[in-house]
Structure 1
Amino acid sequence: MHAPTRSLVLWFPDWPITAFVSEAVSPPRPDAAVAVFAHNVVVACSWAARAQGVRRGQKRRDAQALCPGLQVVPADPVRDVRAFAPVVARVEERAPGVQVVRPGLCALRARGPARYYGGELEAARVLVRLLDDDGFGGVRASVADGVFTAEQAARSAAVDDPVRIVEPGAAGAFLAPLSIATLEDDEFGSLLARLGVHTLGQLAALQVERVRERFGERGVRLHALAGGLDSQPVQPRTPPPELHRDVAFEPPLELADQIAFGMRVAAEEFIAQLGAHDLVCTELRVVLTGERGERSERVWLHPGSFDAAGVVDRVRWQLAEDAQGIFGSGVAGVHIEPEAVDVAAHHAKGLFGAGPDERVHHALSRVQAILGHRGVVTPTIGGGRWLAERQVLVPWGDRVVAEKVRTRPWPGSLPDPLPATVYPEPRLVGVTDIAGAPVTVGERDVVSAPPAVLETAGQRRRIREWAGPWPISERGWDALRARKAHRFQVVDAEGGAWLLVVEEGEWRAEGRYD
């Protein structure tokens, strides 16, 4: 086992909150109670929320009971990583060789910065001052044997003295009184607690052979961490290439054609730089900045990969769609960067030229460039209870934005498989029983009689099988827009399958299973 490496750790408390505030269109006040939730559990909260009793690991209902005015923010790991990237780049300017442990926590070997700045304490203080000047107040720093020990030391640093040094060889004594929960392994910690082991010192005091026999190599690793023997060295990241491009307009421009013209060279350089790294851009982030600080940001998608003309088109479309009413003056700058890239070989043309799908894509893209972003749309399935409203038109090249809506709970919605034929306007039909009387559904969802005959388009079809009713209830609190209906699935004698809806005693065909 290798000896622990002296590691310098920078810890940013409540980083998901910081990332949210940095990208929020309307940032909350500094004294606002804000909490970030993942799976309805608090993963980070502001100091104002913490002052009212909100803590990490709380259920959402418990947190809101303690703090009724709590602002709920959904967790976004991509946002956390994106906001942390410039912070890491800033640290690398003063101390290269940074390892991103996770967003809000980074580590580097302490030896180099300590020799350059005159000691471990001085190096940590220089980085804290640097980040504080950049607006990242509250960052804590520590130097200790191994990243794990240094992280715990940073978490225990005081607000007025944000740097803590654990002397070489003192890691075990420093970690000994800490709870076993510090290892962040719930299963392992729960088992140890039942065995009477509650602190890291008690775990480190166990014989390593006994730990290996009971818990395997995973237990040996946690045993080493508890004793301050973190053998994993700092693994510096490889800084990503600078793929973004920024264009500043002085004076600011107001005409979309002028802005698009000014973006041509930058777009060509952007695509060429990606090509130099054998990459293509499949998702593009465009940020427009106004003269008075206005901001419009959007991620554009592409069914294949962007070329220079496609980049310029997205800037023009964003000016036409998002910037209306946002900019009180001209556009002062445009920032473009790849949100997602792919290996260029995956998008190379085939040996015998482009296939029919590629030719269709080029044709539709040319039409879209002439008519605008929403000039060419494709249908997809979205969320909703009624089949007609589930048909969503998406601009060509965009991902299905209705996917999140479709996965929401829709009580009364029709499960798969859906009818192959959906009528834009449900067709009026008749359903009668064996005696010829109209079939109705009572208040308790009880059918007056088994459906026997389906009358549609002047034809009478004998119903061979049927299923239902399945109630649909919408907006019961609104007397004007409330709806209550019942669905049936029927199969006629000729094998045709129908989706029927009865509402206020009137039968209609919503679709057909072809």
Structure 2
Amino acid sequence: MGRTMVLWAPDWPIIAIEMSASTPAAVLDKGQVLACSQAARAEGVRRGMRRRDAQSRCPGLVLHDYNADADARAFETVLTAIEELSPGVAPLRPGLCAINVPSRFYGGEAEAAAIIAERLVRLGVWDVRAGIADGLFAAEQAARRALAQDSLVISAGGSAQFLRDLPIDALDDALGAPPASAAGGLVGLLRRMGLLTLGDFASLPPADVHTRFGSHGELLHRMARGLNPQPISRRRVPPEFEATLVLEPPLDLVEPIAFSLRRTAEAFVTDLAGHGLVCTTVLIEVDTDGSLATSRRWMHPRWFGATDLIDRVRWQLQAEGAIRAPVDAVRLIPEVTEPLGDHADSLFGGGPDERVERGVARVQSIVGHESVMSVSVQGGRGPGERRLLAPWGERPVASRPSGLPWPGSLPPPAPATVYTEPQQAMVVGETGQAIGVTGRGMVTGEPARFRAAVGQDWQPVASWAGPWPIDDQWWDEVAARRIARFQVVGVDGSAYLMIVEGGHWWIEAKYD
């Protein structure tokens, strides 16, 4: 089997929050110190200390709460940097990863570790250590005993000899097991049995270990003997889907450029489909004279096909003032990819009409991205609040979830026409008195006549429903509103959704 290199960044939670080693800082998890900087360690702060004890040792200690997700996201940058030098990295946990040693490419095992460490230091990881051995466990223990910015290489076949004198507590590091877990309990039992080193544990017969400690104990026993119980699980390098068309010689006419792009666009879509993906957002970059001339992000309500991509490039090139010199390169960069199954047609079709999509997208390219909007429904009480607009091709993001109860919302049916700005109206009783709503939500009289707009004739009320009072944002003096909604139907059959606020009537929407 190949040799294994483990890269370890001590105090990774401190590095992840971008704290300097000279700053006394600590990361707390459940009230205890999970990691601390070198400066804090020099003041006596140790892992496992409680907050109060750590602050008593170092009054100027800067404390941060542990965030596992932020830890993992920050380590993703490290994994990407390592993959640029040696593909197939296996993340063990944030701050610890393993790779197969690329010794032949870099001239030796120690040389490969030095090049990777140098790359990570430039990335901001100010303390990284490498261990190289025959197995994963031995390589991790070597990394934990290496000097800062250095590596410890265990010769081939020497893992068992290296592990022999290590304390039995080293098994706590196996598989990232915390002391309170099953591995920690087994370590404590081995210590009470007088097995203080890994060599003592490794000298036990394997059959007896399996009988006494089970399969988990047998796994740790093989680690203590320097055997590699399982190969490292390397992650796949994300595929690169960017497609580039290089034009030699450069072209200055739109149609020849679009014709030349067809094969590149088809390969772009086919490559994505081969991985079960489709592109819903693409960034198109056009170069002239060796530099970027225009860049635009295009979104699709479904997904981009080759014809869609060619159309977007054509429209982008036809934009006024976009191209002032011959084009020498066009790049298609997928910014958002999604599984093909989420966008495929059903057995009986039902997908959107592609001709409609192309027509709307063409209009959007002419009048502007924000000028063509799609409408959907979100949560809210009034029809204006429930309307959600988004530029065509973008997925609308609702600010108010539609699944909530929304007390005071209108009962069905919903009005067909919602006015952008409410229109002034008037509602009076039988004797012409103004109709309003009291603070307790009671109507001051029976609506008898209404006027739908200033200057129109009065119309008798055939029927009405309401009120639906709403005391909205009562906690905010500026944004607070007290309104009541009514449904009013005239004798001519016209139906309106009206609101009364502060004694004034407005028409908010109309029913068809």
TM superposition score normalised by structure 2: 0.58
Of the candidates 266, 270, 286, which is equivalent to residue 275 of structure 1?
270
| 1: CA distance, partners of 2:395 / 2:75 | 22
- Kindly tell me the number of residue pairs found equivalent between the two proteins: 443
Contact kept, 8 Å, 1:149 with 1:175, in 2: the verdict is no
Q: Deviations over 1:392-418 (max 9, x none)?
A: 432322222x24x4469x9x9977989
Matched, 1:51 2:52: no
| 1: CA distance, partners of 2:21 / 2:382 | 41
**Farther-moved stretch of structure 1 (385-394 vs 346-355):** 346-355
**Farther-moved stretch of structure 1 (343-352 vs 462-471):** 343-352
**Farther-moved stretch of structure 1 (50-59 vs 482-491):** 50-59
Of the candidates 469, 479, 482, which is equivalent to residue 483 of structure 1?
479
| 2: CA distance, partners of 1:262 / 1:304 | 25
Q: Deviations over 1:336-374 (max 9, x none)?
A: 333454677987889999966334324333444554544
The corresponding residue for 1:90 is 84
What is the 5 A alignment of 1:312-323? 314=312
**Farther-moved stretch of structure 1 (464-473 vs 201-210):** 201-210
Q: How has the CA–CA distance of structure 1 residues 344 and 296 changed in structure 2, closer, same or farther, with 3 Å as cutoff?
A: same
Q: Deviations over 1:457-478 (max 9, x none)?
A: 54547777766544324864xx
After TM superposition, give the deviation of residue 12 of structure 1 in Å.
6.5
Matched, 1:376 2:367: no
Contact kept, 8 Å, 2:6 with 2:139, in 1: the verdict is yes
What letter matches 2:81 in structure 1?
V
| 1: CA distance, partners of 2:217 / 2:497 | 61
Matched, 1:420 2:409: no
The corresponding residue for 1:361 is 357
Percent identical pairs in the alignment equals 30
The corresponding residue for 2:41 is none
Matched, 1:311 2:305: no
The corresponding residue for 1:163 is 151
Residue 483 of structure 1: SS of its match in structure 2?
Answer: coil
The corresponding residue for 2:42 is none
What is the 5 A alignment of 1:36-435? 44-48=16-20, 51=23, 53=25, 55=27, 57=29, 87-92=81-86, 97-99=88-90, 106-110=97-101, 113-114=102-103, 120-129=109-118, 139-144=128-133, 146-147=135-136, 150=139, 154=143, 158-159=147-148, 161-165=149-153, 168-169=159-160, 170=162, 176-177=168-169, 231-239=229-237, 241-246=239-244, 265=260, 268-275=263-270, 278-279=273-274, 281-286=278-283, 300-311=298-309, 314=312, 335-341=331-337, 357-381=353-377, 387-388=383-384, 391-400=387-396, 402-403=397-398, 405-406=399-400, 420-421=414-415, 422-426=418-422, 428=425
After TM superposition, give the deviation of residue 79 of structure 1 in Å.
9.3
What letter matches 2:151 in structure 1?
V
* Largest Rg, 1 or 2: 2
After TM superposition, give the deviation of residue 378 of structure 1 in Å.
0.9
Contact kept, 8 Å, 2:435 with 2:443, in 1: the verdict is no
Contact kept, 8 Å, 1:498 with 1:509, in 2: the verdict is yes
What letter matches 1:51 in structure 2?
T
What letter matches 2:16 in structure 1?
A
What letter matches 1:107 in structure 2?
A
| 2: CA distance, partners of 1:507 / 1:499 | 11
Q: How has the CA–CA distance of structure 1 residues 316 and 77 changed in structure 2, closer, same or farther, with 3 Å as cutoff?
A: farther
After TM superposition, give the deviation of residue 258 of structure 1 in Å.
7.3
What letter matches 2:360 in structure 1?
L
Structure 1 regions of 5+ residues with no counterpart?
16-34, 36-41, 442-446, 477-481
Contact kept, 8 Å, 2:378 with 2:400, in 1: the verdict is yes
Q: Deviations over 1:423-477 (max 9, x none)?
A: 4333556599xx9863233xxxxx264677567654547777766544324864x
| 2: CA distance, partners of 1:337 / 1:135 | 28
| 2: CA distance, partners of 1:120 / 1:165 | 8
| 1: CA distance, partners of 2:443 / 2:257 | 70
| 2: CA distance, partners of 1:311 / 1:69 | 47
After TM superposition, give the deviation of residue 90 of structure 1 in Å.
1.9
Contact kept, 8 Å, 2:486 with 2:499, in 1: the verdict is no
Contact kept, 8 Å, 2:372 with 2:391, in 1: the verdict is yes
| 1: CA distance, partners of 2:484 / 2:246 | 61
Q: Deviations over 1:11-31 (max 9, x none)?
A: 57899xxxxxxxxxxxxxxxx
After TM superposition, give the deviation of residue 47 of structure 1 in Å.
1.9
Higher relative contact order (CA 8 A, sep 6+): 1
Q: Over aligned residues, Cα RMSD in angstroms?
A: 6.5
Contact kept, 8 Å, 2:497 with 2:509, in 1: the verdict is yes
| 1: CA distance, partners of 2:190 / 2:401 | 43
Q: Deviations over 1:276-325 (max 9, x none)?
A: 5744642344275999999998764323332345335556888999x99x
Residue 121 of structure 1: SS of its match in structure 2?
Answer: helix
Contact kept, 8 Å, 1:224 with 1:230, in 2: the verdict is no
After TM superposition, give the deviation of residue 45 of structure 1 in Å.
0.2
Contact kept, 8 Å, 1:45 with 1:56, in 2: the verdict is no
| 1: CA distance, partners of 2:338 / 2:253 | 31
Contact kept, 8 Å, 2:26 with 2:63, in 1: the verdict is no
| 2: CA distance, partners of 1:51 / 1:224 | 40
Contact kept, 8 Å, 2:266 with 2:306, in 1: the verdict is yes
| 1: CA distance, partners of 2:152 / 2:123 | 21
Contact kept, 8 Å, 1:465 with 1:490, in 2: the verdict is yes
Contact kept, 8 Å, 1:141 with 1:162, in 2: the verdict is yes
